[in-house]
Chains A and B, each alone.
Chain A
Amino acid sequence: MHALVQGVILGILTGGVYALMASGQTLIFGIMKVVNLAQGAMVIMAAYLAYGLFTRFGLDPFLAIPITTVIMFGLGVGVELLFLRPLRREDKSELSLLVTFAVALLIEGVLSVTWGTTYRSINASYANSSWTVGSYQITVVRFWAFVLSLVALGLLFWLLNRTRFGRAVRATVQNPESARLLGVEAQWVSALGFGLGAATAAAAGSVYGLLYPFYSGSHYDLISRLLSIVVLGGLGSVGGAVIAAVIVSTSSAIVAATISPAWSEMTFFVILILVLLIRPRGLFGSVNRGAI
């Protein structure tokens, strides 16, 4: 029982981190109907950037986030302008899979050449610290990662629901044609939206690097989890992605504690298949893809 409760606590905290990563992924899909297979690679790249800033300049990975956010935002906008914008055909969604996968491989290659292929981890002074609450341990990094995820998601919601840009984004998602007729610069919404999605990878990368060892190839594992979270939550729904992330990481913690850790990695995909059988558009996906 003790192991179960301990597992659930850590599972919920980890869910927050996955929620942050998946929110960027689902946002990009919502705006552009592009499945960004490079999202995982962008998270790993941000982890390397945070690692570099930490080892070179001693900058705390949490404090590095504003810097890495700007870099990742720029990268996202650049990728959209250079690689995705030229795809104007009807089959943009399918082609974008190839293009974003190529971007993922490109990022992986650059990271391998720059940092080698050995595992890295960001060992801040508090990386192994935890607070004892009752007889349970709450790790400092996971706790702050969870808080950070809530803050970042809150900002994202604010941006989408309370600003002019957000209104333009939502309009584009609901009906790109009408949005254009009403004067929304759909092209810029796409570029900035992709940049915004990539920017969420910055905070996620810092946290990821603090929690887990990573190397340039870590993104394959990550993207498969992110895709299952995004599909589970309903493609394009940021709120759905958050809830899906917490559901899967908590249930995989419960499975690990009650059945076996060997099965916990499977839990992601078992839940995904079950939900898709019962509700093919995911938990919160709307039929006409109108909501974020």
Chain B
Amino acid sequence: MDQSIRSWRKGGVVVAAASMALALGACASSSNNSGASATTSAGAPLVIGASISLTGDFADSGKAVQRGYQLWASQVNAKGGILGRKVTMKLVDDASSPTQVVSNYQNLINRDKVNLVFGPFSSLLTVPASQVAKRYGYSFLEPAGGGPKVFAQNLNNLFFVQPAPVVKSGDVFADWVLSLPAAQRPKTAAYTELDDPFASPIAENVRARFEAAGIKTVYKEIYPAETQDFSAIMAKVVSANPDVLVGGTQNEDAYAQVKTLVQLKFSPKFMFLSNGANSPLEFPSKAGTKNTPGIMSAGDWFPGSTAPGSADFTAAYIKANGGTADTIDNSSAEAYACGQVLEAVAAKTGKIDNATIISTLHQGSWPTLLGNLTWGPDGAPSGSFNLIQWQGGKLVPVFPDATAKAKPIYPKPSWGG
């Protein structure tokens, strides 16, 4: 009894504290709004805050995003900034944690009073972060949250800076296959899909398109994330003898599928892997360069792209970080593109504030190094990825024709061993 009263009292204290915090938050947000408009004057630095995963599960990708943001800031400052204002990036670590990311954006907006915010890495962190931004009327350009849950929130302040939602990244492969003359199209298809919201739905979208076009499904398997040994799955693929193999893959499962097929000496006429095969360095080193020719995947930015700003980005990236164009992580390019979108808004409207960004970006097409981007009301981009193929040890865009740099090779050459 005593304890329940105490906990009730404790509850009361918590409620009181929470309401005070809310009131403070309201004060903070209103003062921030006035602060933001006050600093719009030319000359004051434009501070952009973002939470990034520098530690934890997403650390590698988080650091790639960090490189992209910082590179863009240094590039735009070298040109004199945005509307005469130098850009300062304020980046904080969220340790890949969905709770820390909320605190980080709260602090960036309320305590540090940043002018604008960019997104974190992964859909997992983008969902809670975008809600904080929405609450305070901040626009939310984000480079790495492309899952269905992000768009299901229906936030008008969110813009996913990639050509299409992740689950639609395989559609370009279906577009290309179905553009072939009927006699050259595959007749049978197998689908090997990782049980993951960023893998299986990609292959399922392709399967729906293929089945509607009369390409028969001869085998389909959704495998759990802990699958390590692909011998059994691939032995079944071999028995089904499909013309096309569509893998809804992430990373290591893509390498393992290729390796196992090589060992089983079965090479399908067409092979598409949604992810993993689009990694310029990892894929050849893991699957063997000799086995890459003809394998297709989807991508937005690629080395040698002629999209707006790509050449500058590549040169500046290599200068700042060393390596070659092939070593650039796409997450860096996507983060960089967030900045390009901002520059484009400023150039078009002559203003750079959250309300202008939100109201402007829902119309028109916005050129970036990922191609031209357009957004629907929920922040989902309405474009398409590029179909890329391994040719001569390199990833080459082969479809659509507008961005293609080579003709697609098919049927796929047999394995190099």
Contact = CB atoms under 8 A, between A and B. Distances in A.
A213 interface: yes
B226 interface: yes
B407 interface: no
A110 interface: no
B259 A3 contact: no
A121 B286 contact: yes
A139 B229 contact: no
Given A3-B238, A221-B228, A262-B221, A137 B60 contact: no
B233 A265 contact: no
Contact of B229 (A14, A121, A130): A14
Nearest to B240: A3
Contacts of B291: 128
Interface string B281-302: 0100110100100000000000
Nearest to A264: B232
A123 B290 CA distance: 12
Given A119-B251, A129-B417, A132-B265, A7 B285 contact: no
A213 B231 contact: no
A213 B235 contact: no
B239 interface: yes
Interface in B87-119: none
B221 to A, nearest CB: 6
Contacts of A261: 221, 223, 227, 232-233, 236
Interface stretch (A37-45, A62-70, A187-195, A252-260): A252-260
Interface residues of A, number: 33
A84 to B, nearest CB: 30
B224 interface: yes
B253 to A, nearest CB: 9
A265 B239 CA distance: 21
A119 B221 CA distance: 24
Contact of A213 (B238, B286, B288, B417): B286
A178 interface: no
Interface in B373-417: 415, 417
B417 A257 contact: no
A56 interface: no
Contacts of A7: 231-232, 235
A52 B282 CA distance: 16
A118 interface: yes
Given A128-B417, A261-B221, A119 B264 contact: no
Contacts of A221: 226, 228
A116 interface: yes
B59 A257 contact: no
A130 B233 contact: no
B39 interface: no
Nearest to B416: A128
Contact of A137 (B227, B229, B263, B285): B263
B256 interface: yes
A150 to B, nearest CB: 20
B255 interface: yes
B188 to A, nearest CB: 16
A212 B229 contact: yes
Interface residues of B, number: 34
A129 B415 CA distance: 11
| Interface secondary structure of B, over-half rule | helix
Contacts of A118: 60, 282
B286 A10 contact: no
B262 interface: yes
Given A221-B226, A261-B223, A128 B236 contact: no
Contacts of B227: 261, 265
Given A116-B60, A137-B263, A121 B255 contact: yes
A162 interface: no
Given A130-B263, A261-B227, A262-B221, A117 B233 contact: no
B288 A123 contact: yes
A6 B239 CA distance: 10
Interface in A241-292: 252-253, 256-257, 260-262, 264-265
Contact of B235 (A117, A132, A252, A257): A257
A127 interface: yes
A164 interface: no
A187 B262 CA distance: 50
Interface in A3-48: 3, 6-7, 10-11, 14
Contacts of B196: none
Given A130-B264, A137-B265, A212-B228, 5 more contacts: A3-B235, A119-B252, A127-B288, A128-B417, A129-B417
Interface of A: 2-3, 6-7, 10-11, 14, 116-119, 121, 123, 127-130, 132, 137, 139, 211-213, 221, 252-253, 256-257, 260-262, 264-265
27 contacts: A2-B238, A2-B239, A3-B238, A6-B264, A7-B235, A10-B231, A14-B231, A119-B255, A128-B259, A128-B263, A128-B288, A128-B291, A128-B417, A130-B263, A130-B265, A132-B265, A137-B263, A139-B263, A211-B229, A213-B255, A213-B256, A221-B226, A257-B232, A257-B236, A261-B233, A262-B223, A265-B227
Interface of B: 59-60, 195, 221-224, 226-229, 231-233, 235-236, 238-239, 251-252, 255-256, 259, 262-265, 282, 285-286, 288, 291, 415, 417
Top 10 closest pairs, chain A to chain B, by CB: A256-B232, A128-B262, A213-B252, A10-B231, A6-B235, A3-B235, A3-B239, A119-B252, A139-B263, A130-B263
